[in-house]
């Protein structure tokens, strides 16, 4: 059956795409800290949920599901040609013998979709650092977050034991160099300050300093424009010829949707890029650009920006992203975040106190701080397999701050011996923390429940969890 029967129904793809996107309320995507692909994930989970209710799938069942998946992809702002080719590959496999003769056909269809999503985003996602010194050239339009991304990337490389060197090469945007210098101070890396009007001359001087001081790699924050033009491309081509970068990374704004894909194609044709850093995936981006860029340009997404903080830059893993899109969680990323936030000695000390039944409110406060260091709790919940099905889960980050304030208002003795906190002490703690007695009571009840749970985890399962975090 031709793909047109799956979704086109005789109309032009562009016309259907336009109608779908026009009817999609933008307010649906303007939730605070919206997880990337949330709308697409919810639609796909509904589709596969219906498939799982059927013991056996017919070809018509699969084709109906593919029609719905196609609509979901277009609503998520996936490029229509990418969606068409993706579904053609899924259809060829999903109506084949591997699915139809399976004892669990719905799971087999899900497996096929996951594998094809991974293939759609696959590529070399490692960062190549060749040359002496290695040069990473960041390109992109104004407003994409290029300067901030340069600092985020520098911080990431610094944590890997390198000595990155930020070089501002944007003579057109006012205060661009000053902004990069402030960010460099914030993340603790070197930044070139003797900026000339000519980017080529500035690069040569910066390279001389990098060679003499052993700074590796150089990260070039190049000029941008409000839109692609030939003058910009010519400047970037000349700089690329002189700098001979091992990586030319396009910084693209995910919130611009299909415009990000068009920008990526324009820079690939005009300059030649080796990969993409997709920013602002924590905003109201629907994620279609992440699924489309590799297929359109042939260049992989290497990093994604997931927040405004200088540490909010993550490597892009197609397999993990596919799992999150399908609501299957992302346990590996969750573990990595825990390992970064929880120091080994803290985990060992906490395990010993639980084993000795000495877990107190001071330990509980440290536990809350560990969680906050791991990032947005809503994002963390989204990484746990199965929890993404519960749409009503919303975490009040301010409530955690109030809980910490309540514990801070206690004396050392009260934190170590919560059972001595009587009515008058509770009123004093509430006044000192700017909360209510009811909130103090609630925290103490939660603490007792957690302490009881931790006692039950002292067996082998609890020890395995602590070892995992270490």
pLDDT, one tens digit per residue, over 360-375 is 888 888 777 776 666 5
Q: Looking at the predicted structure, is the pLDDT value of residue 441 above 90?
A: yes
At residue 356, the pLDDT reads 67
> pLDDT-derived band of residue 19, with 50, 70 and 90 as boundaries?
very low
Selected residue with higher pLDDT from 406 and 109: 406
Fold of the 334-469 domain: 434 Repressor (Amino-terminal Domain) (1.10.260)
Q: Mention every residue, 6+ apart, whose C-beta is less than 8 A from residue 299.
A: 123, 250, 264, 268, 273, 274, 275, 276, 293
Q: Which CATH architecture has domain 135-328?
A: 3-Layer(aba) Sandwich (3.40)
Q: What is the average pLDDT across 399-421? A: 90
The ranges assigned to domains in the chain are: 4-121, 135-328, 334-469
Segment 236-265 shows an average pLDDT of: 90
Full-prediction pTM beyond 0.75? no
CATH architecture under which domain 4-121 falls: Up-down Bundle (1.20)
Instruction: Name the more confident of 95 and 421.
Output: 421
Running DSSP on this structure, what letter comes out for residue 34? P
């Amino acid at each position: 059956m031709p793909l047109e029967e799956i979704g086109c129904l005789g109309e032009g793809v562009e016309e259907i795409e336009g109608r779908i996107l026009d009817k999609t309320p933008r307010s649906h995507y303007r939730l605070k800290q919206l997880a990337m692909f949330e709308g697409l994930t919810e639609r796909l989970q509904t589709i596969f949920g219906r498939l799982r209710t059927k013991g056996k799938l017919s070809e018509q069942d699969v084709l109906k599901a593919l029609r719905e998946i196609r609509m979901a992809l277009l609503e998520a702002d996936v490029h229509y040609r990418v969606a068409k080719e993706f579904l053609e590959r899924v259809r060829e496999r999903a109506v084949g013998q591997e699915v139809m003769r399976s004892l669990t056909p719905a799971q087999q269809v899900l497996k096929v979709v996951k594998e094809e999503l991974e293939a759609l985003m696959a590529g070399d996602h490692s960062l190549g650092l060749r040359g002496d010194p290695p040069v990473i050239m960041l390109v992109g339009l104004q407003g994409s977050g290029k300067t901030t991304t340069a600092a985020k990337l520098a911080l990431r490389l610094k944590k890997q034991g390198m000595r990155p060197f930020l070089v501002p090469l944007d003579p057109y945007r006012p205060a661009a160099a000053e902004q990069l210098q402030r960010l460099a101070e914030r993340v603790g890396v070197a930044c070139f300050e003797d900026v000339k009007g000519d980017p080529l001359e500035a690069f040569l001087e910066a390279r001389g300093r990098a060679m003499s001081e052993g700074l590796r790699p150089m990260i070039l924050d190049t000029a941008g424009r409000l839109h692609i033009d030939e003058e910009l491309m010519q400047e970037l081509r000349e700089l690329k010829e002189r700098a001979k970068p091992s990586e030319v990374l396009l910084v693209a704004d995910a919130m611009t949707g299909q415009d990000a894909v068009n920008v990526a194609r324009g820079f690939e044709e005009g300059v030649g890029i080796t990969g993409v850093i997709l920013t602002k995936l924590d905003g109201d981006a629907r994620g279609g650009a992440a699924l489309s860029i590799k297929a359109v340009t042939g260049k992989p997404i290497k990093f994604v920006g997931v927040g405004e903080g200088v540490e909010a830059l993550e490597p892009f893993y197609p397999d993990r992203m596919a799992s999150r899109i399908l609501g299957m969680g992302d346990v590996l990323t969750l573990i990595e975040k825990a390992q970064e936030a929880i120091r080994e000695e803290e985990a060992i000390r906490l395990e010993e106190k639980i084993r000795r039944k000495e877990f107190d409110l001071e330990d509980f406060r440290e536990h809350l701080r560990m969680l906050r260091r791991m990032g947005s709790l809503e994002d963390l919940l989204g990484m746990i397999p199965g929890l993404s099905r519960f749409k009503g889960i919303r975490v009040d980050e301010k409530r955690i701050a109030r809980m910490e304030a309540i514990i801070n208002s206690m004396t050392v003795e009260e934190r170590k011996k919560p059972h001595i906190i009587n009515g008058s002490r509770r009123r004093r703690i509430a006044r000192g923390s700017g909360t209510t007695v009811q909130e103090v009571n609630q925290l103490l009840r939660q603490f007792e429940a957690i302490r009881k749970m931790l006692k039950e985890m002292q067996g082998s399962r609890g020890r395995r969890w602590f070892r995992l975090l270490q």
